[in-house]
Structure 1
């Protein structure tokens, strides 16, 4: 699926969330979208979150 189409769909869904639920629902949709993007990018190998899982450690 082309990125422009994905961007269009995301924009429409965010607009729908804002229209139906107000600003709070809009912010929730943005945060959940960012979390979903992060998980998808991790699964595709474009994002490495292993440092977050390990923590800083001591040393």
Structure 2
């Protein structure tokens, strides 16, 4: 699946949730998708969890 197809699918899911259930359900679905994306990246090893925790705590990271 290409990134374009993925984006279309995500947009369709969000649009359907807004139309069918209202604005707050749309917000909840969008947040749940975001959390799922972050968890998926951590599990696959593409994102370092400690870097996320440091960013939330306000620690600066220099590369």
Uncovered stretches (5+) of structure 1, i.e. residues with no partner: none
1:46 maps onto 2:46 in alignment: yes
Provide the rounded CA distance (Å) in 2 between the counterparts of 1:42 and 1:3. Answer: 19
Aligned to 1:34: 34
Paired residues in the alignment total: 53
The RMSD of aligned alpha carbons is 1.3
TM-score normalised per structure 1? 0.81
Q: Which runs of 5+ in 2 are unaligned?
A: 58-63
TM-score w.r.t. the length of structure 2 is: 0.76
Distance in 2 (alpha carbons) for counterparts of 1:43 and 1:3: 20
Counterpart-to-counterpart distance in 2, 1:40 and 1:4: 19
